[in-house]
Amino acid sequence: MITAGTVAALALTLAACGGNGDGAETTAGAETGATASGGETAGETGGEEAGGGEGTLTVGIKYDQPGLGLQQGADFAGFDVDVARYVADFLGYDEVEFLESISAQRENMLENGQVDMIFATYSITESRAERVDFAGPYFVAGQDLLVRVDEMDITGPEALEGRILCSVEGSTSAERIRDDHPGVELYPAATYSECVEFLTAETVDAVTTDDIILAGFANQPAYEGQLKVVGNTFSTENYGVGLPKGSTDTCEQVNEAILDMIDTGAWEEALAANAGADYQYNTESNPPEMFPCE
């Protein structure tokens, strides 16, 4: 579990992590669950520690992020999904129920007991750690830009002056642009899939969020030959497992599960299978070291 104090102590290395990626709907996603096997069920959470195994683990994910959390009919696919399933199995749960968890609702879902854990490109930040606890990180990404394939002038955030940039409200990707690049016109959206649609329609000039999220969209058959990731990251994003406050024991169990996934090679296999052949992750930061649970 990462508390606010822990994150403050790690602030120099976290470099203002951002939380990115969003599901397609807000209220409906938080209220309607689907198990990993596709059946409808109602999660039983209540905000207590989820560790200990058996029964159903209710997990918040993104529903519209290719390569990370994507709803495919009655099933779900992506790196976040694979890590969540591995952790649930390691902890001894019989089933995983997935609920949609958009960026702006993640803290609320943990506080209200709608989910036991969140695996949703949920970057660890000091402000978030005041409301929820974090296990992990299970991946370290970096904020980048997605542009149309014929765009040659946008090489980084400094080149966005006077341009229109799409990001998601409630994400620190948007906050970072507002704070560091006030000359950029920020075009807010509810989800990153909306941002990508705006980009292909030439409504905006670029989309910003974590590089692995952008790579997932660029790798989709629907956008083949249309989009590219700039490849110039300008942040460090530590993806944590969101937990309700006071989840020290669960945090330690989740960290043990992530380390086991790394040691067995399942982490590397899941990343390669989901991120696409062209995605080059930061090997200096990955596989990541676990932050301490306090």
The pTM of the full predicted model, rounded to 2 decimals, is 0.78
Residue with tokens 């209200």: 112
In single-letter form, the type of residue at position 163 comes to: R
Strand partners, 75: 72
Cα–Cα distances (Å) from 64 to 126, 135, 281, in that order, read 26, 23, 21
In single-letter form, the type of residue at position 96 comes to: V
Peptide bond between residue 288 and the one before it cis (omega within 30 degrees of 0): no
Q: What is the pLDDT of residue 46?
A: 40
Backbone angles phi, psi at 217, to 5 degrees: -70, -45
Residue pLDDT tens, the chain, 294 long: 444 444 444 433 333 333 343 332 222 333 335 555 433 333 333 445 666 667 999 999 999 999 999 999 999 999 999 999 999 999 999 999 999 998 889 999 999 999 999 999 999 999 999 999 999 999 999 999 999 999 999 999 999 999 999 999 878 898 899 999 999 999 999 889 999 999 999 999 999 999 999 999 998 899 989 999 999 999 999 999 999 999 999 999 999 999 999 999 999 999 999 987 778 889 999 999 999 998
CATH of span 4-141+237-275: 3.40.190.10
Q: What is the pLDDT of residue 24?
A: 28
Q: What is the pLDDT of residue 259?
A: 99
CA-wise closest residue to 258 among 289, 292, 279: 289
Does 143-229 match 4-141+237-275 at the fold level?
Answer: yes
Q: What is the pLDDT of residue 52?
A: 66
Q: Which helix (H) or strand (E) segment is 168 a member of? A: strand 164-168
Radius of gyration from C-alpha coordinates of the chain: 18
Peptide bond between residue 287 and the one before it cis (omega within 30 degrees of 0): yes
Strands 117-118 and 56-61: parallel
Domain boundaries, the chain: 4-141+237-275, 143-229
Q: Are 195 and 204 within 8 A, CB to CB?
A: yes
Q: What is the pLDDT of residue 31?
A: 35
Rounded to an integer, what distance in angstroms lies between the CA atom of residue 252 and that of residue 23? 28
Rounded to an integer, what distance in angstroms lies between the CA atom of residue 62 and that of residue 149? 26
Q: Which CATH number fits domain 143-229: 3.90.1580.10, 3.40.190.10, 3.40.50.300, 3.90.1150.10?
A: 3.40.190.10
